[in-house]
Amino acid sequence: MIIAIFGSQGSGKGTQAELLAEKFNLLHVSMGDCLRAESKKNTVLGKKIKSIQSSGNLVPVKITNKLFENILKKHKNLLLDGYPRSFDQLQFLMKKTKIDYAIEVDLNERDSIKRISSRRMCPKCNRNYNLIRIKPKVKGKCDYCKTNLIQREDDKPAAIKKRQEIYKNQTLPLKKVYKRLGILHIVDGSGSIKQVHESILKILNCQKSPKVK
């Protein structure tokens, strides 16, 4: 099974992806995290990704295709988080496999920005926190490895703005394709983590995809 979850930055899709991956035993593929992991390697590719990401631009499809293909070689049941992000990426994916559910976590821009600016991450083990919703037990420290939490370069205002433009222009148009395939589902992302999770479970429990208007 392949579930693709998408939503603007700050919509809470990453948290929902983690919950779903665990519940349905899917490999959680966060392209953002894959790219970040790659960018930490001191290679030509790693350095290239790093400079593209810190500028808030979209990483070229050639790179994401390669990373995705490597994952597909080993895994069949995936929870795709933030991938595909553009029509090019979706085209490549559809050549290789098929998406069973495409779920949009829908949240307005103002609330999204509010959530993003409260995000923190652990630079050592890559765990994500949120000062409003997923607070670390000790202020500013990772619960697992006690490393000082940081704010990602791409969670800073200029990068956020650019990402939102990219999302509107490149990711949202994919909805038309998902709709045509009958796999598009939209959930309201403004509720609590639990409420949004439950809305998604309702979708996954029904066999036939209810058509989205």
Footprint on this chain of Zn ion (rule: CB under 5 A): 122, 124-125, 142, 144-145, 147
- Least Å distance between CB 8 and Zn ion? 26
CB 121 within 8 Å of CB 25: no
Comparing CB distances to Zn ion, the nearer of 108 and 126 is: 126
In which region does residue 128 sit, left (phi positive, over 0), alpha (psi from -120 to 50) or beta (all else)?
beta
Comparing CB distances to Zn ion, the nearer of 93 and 122 is: 122
Structure tokens at 96: 């290789």
The count of C-alpha atoms lying within 13 angstroms of the C-alpha of 23, restricted to the half-sphere facing its C-beta, is 13
Please state, in angstroms and rounded to a whole number, the distance separating the CA atoms of residues 201 and 198.
5
Please state, in angstroms and rounded to a whole number, the distance separating the CA atoms of residues 66 and 88.
13
Comparing CB distances to Zn ion, the nearer of 1 and 145 is: 145
Comparing CB distances to Zn ion, the nearer of 125 and 172 is: 125
Nearest to 7 by CA among 119, 174, 192, 162: 174
Comparing CB distances to Zn ion, the nearer of 123 and 191 is: 123
- Least Å distance between CB 143 and Zn ion? 7
- Least Å distance between CB 2 and Zn ion? 29
- Least Å distance between CB 136 and Zn ion? 9
- Least Å distance between CB 163 and Zn ion? 24
Q: Reduced to 3 states, what is the DSSP secondary structure of residue 43?
A: coil
